[in-house]
Structure 1
């Protein structure tokens, strides 16, 4: 049985074949089709680095249907990251490719290596912005708020008053 997933895609390092991070993200969005049926791809945006990262990121999101359960999809996404040249490194450091499962139509998943929904997505405009472009009505199973509502909460000028 197939499940729907929202996948976040990011890069802030060049790739020897694809070039600049924006092109790495574009290639990764296409490669996701090897893991299921991609029904929507967001525009690619630029975002500021966070944590130890030094370079600006290119970010996007995709909605896909896959036969994989969440842990199997995570393993496949990690293999794809390695195929693109990602190496183990510092948390939030520069990377050729970062792929995260943000949401799953099955609701929650909690395991030793994976939590769905992604625990930090509600506080990341670089995830919510692209996600809203392709799935604004998808609801967070924890807050029951839509992605567009979460994004408005995060990016509204009044967000500082929360």
Structure 2
């Protein structure tokens, strides 16, 4: 079986059994297998209806799992942390998303890799650039560093 590298975005904005959002992220990283790089945790404004700020990071993991099998494992970790199905973009104890895969692109029921929205999300690209700045998006051909620069440049300034 071939080992692949995955970039996983991690977010939390609600207390859970492990404590506040930053503690939930640290515990989630410990629950993942094959972690090879961890970005610093950052704070970010919520998307959608949630009013709580998020703690976010990104990790690289090495795994023999296919993208759908890894998604199943990530969803099991989210559930173990108390994630409940519900409103899109609502508050959550833990959110684990496959952002990139060393195998390129994947599309199937419930999963698209690269993550459909990662190119516009500073809370994903900011941490990811710290651990995988040279990783190329297989769709646009741009590096994570370049994508982050584009998002950063588009951000409104005071």
Q: TM-score, normalised by structure 2?
A: 0.96
Provide the residue aligned with 1:107 in structure 2: 104
Alignment of 1:1-162 (within 5 A): 1-16=2-17, 18-33=18-33, 37-156=34-153, 159=154
SS of the aligned residue for 1:14 comes to coil
Q: Which 4+ residue blocks in structure 1 deviate beyond 3 angstroms?
A: none
> What is the Cα-based RMSD across aligned positions, in Å?
1.1
CA distance in 2: counterparts of 1:123 and 1:44, whole angstroms: 19
CA distance in 1: counterparts of 2:16 and 2:60, whole angstroms: 24
Unaligned runs of at least 5 residues, structure 2: none
CA distance in 2: counterparts of 1:2 and 1:129, whole angstroms: 26
Unaligned runs of at least 5 residues, structure 1: none
SS of the aligned residue for 2:89 comes to coil
Deviation at 1:160, TM superposition (A): 6.2
Cα separation, partners in 2 of 1:27 and 1:148, compared to 1, 3 Å: same
Give the number of aligned pairs.
Answer: 155
Q: TM-score, normalised by structure 1?
A: 0.93
Alpha-carbon displacement from aligned partner over 1:33-77 (angstroms, at most 9, x marks no partner): 2xxx11100000000011021200000000011010000000100
